[in-house]
Amino acid sequence: MENARRFLLGLLSVAYVLAGVNHFVNPDFYVAIMPPYLPWHLPLVWLSGVAEVALGIGVLVPKTRNVAGWGLVALLVAVFPANLHMALHHEDFADVPLWAVYLRLPLQLLLIAWAWWATRSPTGAQTR
């Protein structure tokens, strides 16, 4: 089980670092899914990209793993309105299949569970 946890922790890290970098490579996609009631769309896209990269790296460092895990949970909760906006206004995102738009909503729960599980100490003790 420990090998699976380490593998999934590494995969979690790579996934968030790549997703974060993608915010800078393809910012237009992320700006487009921002709900209109949020201000500063591009700066928020950049901020979330920096957060994903930093937290993705942070989960690999034992001293920051727990905090980085909670940071990923908070980030996933924070970006949920963008996924919901995309689902509620699918006509604006015709390039994305409808099934994929709706799959993103429950996927957030799985991503939260993954971040929480992978960054916990196997014994439940705090990592020093």
**pLDDT tens-digit profile of 19-63?**
999 999 999 999 999 999 999 999 999 999 999 999 999 999 999
Residue 128: pLDDT band (50, 70, 90) is: very low
Mean pLDDT of 71-76: 98
* Contact between 87 and 102 (Cβ < 8 Å): yes
Predicted pLDDT of residue 127: 46
**Cβ–Cβ under 8 Å, residues 17 and 53:** yes
Q: Counting beta carbons within 10 angstroms of the beta carbon of residue 68, is it exposed (0 to 12), middle (13 to 18) or buried (19 or more)?
A: buried
Question: pTM here?
Answer: 0.88
Contact present, 53 and 20 (Cβ < 8 Å):
yes
